[in-house]
Each structure stands twice: as C-alpha cells, then as structure tokens.
Chains A and B, each alone.
Chain A
Amino acid sequence: KNEVEQSPQNLTAQEGEFITINCSYSVGISALHWLQQHPGGGIVSLFMLSSGKKKHGRLIATINIQEKHSSLHITASHPRDSAVYICAVRGADGLTFGKGTHLIIQP
C-alpha cells in the first residue's frame, strides 16, 4: 500500500510570496496528480505528472521518480490561491491521496 505524505500540513504566507508544497510516496507509481480543494469541498485537478515538470500560469509541478517526490510551486501567490492542495498517486492498487496542505495567502 502506498503511503503519501505531504508537507507542510498548514502554510500561511503573504501575498506575492513563492510557495512550495511537497509530496512524497513510498511505492513506485505510474502517475501523480495535484488537486485543489476549495471551501465547500469541490476538487479541481491542476496537474497530472508521470515525469519531469509542467507549468500552467503561476503554477509549476515537478516530479522526481527516483526519489519518489513531487513539488507544487506557486509563484506570485494571491489570496485566491488559498485552498487545500492534495497530492494523489496512481499505483498498482489504485489512487492514494495525501491529507492535503492547507494554504492561506494573506493580502
């Protein structure tokens, strides 16, 4: 069973700061997803990664398959980025989710 750990659990930053959220997993995977959950519960997919790096607007996601680690970066953070960010990995036994990182960006 894959173990997915996210850090930090909680992060409060000022508007404009560069944000990094980390995800580590224990067993080899075929894909890793970064998800965003807003208050109320709805979840939006941000990225799917199987290798390398992806960029979308101010969001950048990287993955190191050998080290079993991924990072999500937010540049020029904004209060509207405040949300819970969830890492999910696709392994042989299906999808395993991390507990999420609760991000608050203060103006």
Chain B
Amino acid sequence: SAVISQKPSRDICQRGTSLTIQCQVDSQVTMMFWYRQQPGQSLTLIATANQGSEATYESGFVIDKFPISRPNLTFSTLTVSNMSPEDSSIYLCSVRTGGATNEKLFFGSGTQLSVL
C-alpha cells in the first residue's frame, strides 16, 4: 500500500508564471509518475521520475516546460513553467507497487490548475 500527499490541491495562476506541485509518498518507491488530465480527456503521462537520474519525458513533453525533481525515494516535484491557459488541467502523481500479476496503482489527490 502507498499513501500519496499532493499539494497544492488547486491553484489559479497568471499567464507566464510557474507553479511547483509536490508529492510525498509514505513509503520508498523507485519510480514516480506524473500525469496531466485535460478537461474531458484521459490521463496522459508527462514523465517518469527516478531517484538519482534525470526524469524520462514522454513525446510532446519537455524538461524546460515541466522540470521534475526527485531528491529521494519518497518525494518528487513537478513544475509547470511559463504557464499559458492551455496548461489548465488536473495534474496527478502516481506510484505503482507489485509486479505483473498483482500490480496496484496509487494516485495523489490531484492539483487542479487554472491559468488566466
């Protein structure tokens, strides 16, 4: 089992500013995943954060726009940089436990971001 504390839960930001989202897990995990959920759309993986190495970004997402930190096995941050209204979404962090036959997924409570 894993409990993830994510903050902030919501924020309203001005265009051009940056917001950092934090996730704290109550157990050590190798990988943490960051997702974006645009209105009416499915979850899209932004990047996978590994402790001690650079995050791995999915196609369409770049480090300059979404820098990620992973200083230890229980904590990660995602920054949404130079925001525009198109960045208005729910952002979620996630971890998984178990293997192929008993995988479990755990998610943070989400950050609802609105950019004006």
Chain B residue with Cβ nearest A102: B40
Residues A66-93 near B (CB distance < 8 A): 86, 88, 90
Question: Is the Cβ of B42 less than 8 Å from the Cβ of A95?
Answer: no
- Assuming the contacts A43-B92, A43-B107, asked whether A98 and B112 have C-beta atoms less than 8 A apart, the reply is no
- Assuming the contacts A97-B42, A99-B40, A99-B42, asked whether A42 and B101 have C-beta atoms less than 8 A apart, the reply is no
Please, what's the 1-or-0 string for A28-67, where 1 marks a CB less than 8 Å from any CB in chain B? 0011010100001111110010100000000000000000
- Give the size of the chain A interface in residues (CB under 8 angstroms): 23
- Assuming the contacts A30-B100, A31-B100, A50-B101, asked whether A44 and B107 have C-beta atoms less than 8 A apart, the reply is yes
Question: Is the Cβ of B103 less than 8 Å from the Cβ of A31?
Answer: yes
- Assuming the contacts A86-B42, A99-B42, asked whether A42 and B103 have C-beta atoms less than 8 A apart, the reply is no
Please, what's the 1-or-0 string for A1-36, where 1 marks a CB less than 8 Å from any CB in chain B? 000100000000000000000000000001101010
Is A107's CB within 8 Å of the partner chain B?
A: no
- Assuming the contacts A41-B112, A43-B92, asked whether A99 and B106 have C-beta atoms less than 8 A apart, the reply is no
Q: What separation, in Å, do the CA atoms of A5 and B105 have in the docked complex?
A: 20
Is B53's CB within 8 Å of the partner chain A?
A: no
User: Which residues on A sit within 8 Å (CB–CB) of B111?
Assistant: 41
- Assuming the contacts A30-B100, A33-B105, A48-B102, asked whether A43 and B110 have C-beta atoms less than 8 A apart, the reply is yes
Chain A residue with Cβ nearest B109: A42
Residues B80-116 near A (CB distance < 8 A): 90, 92, 94, 100-112
Between A and B, 7 residue pairs with Cβ closer than 8 Å are A41-B90, A41-B110, A48-B102, A48-B104, A50-B101, A88-B105, A97-B44
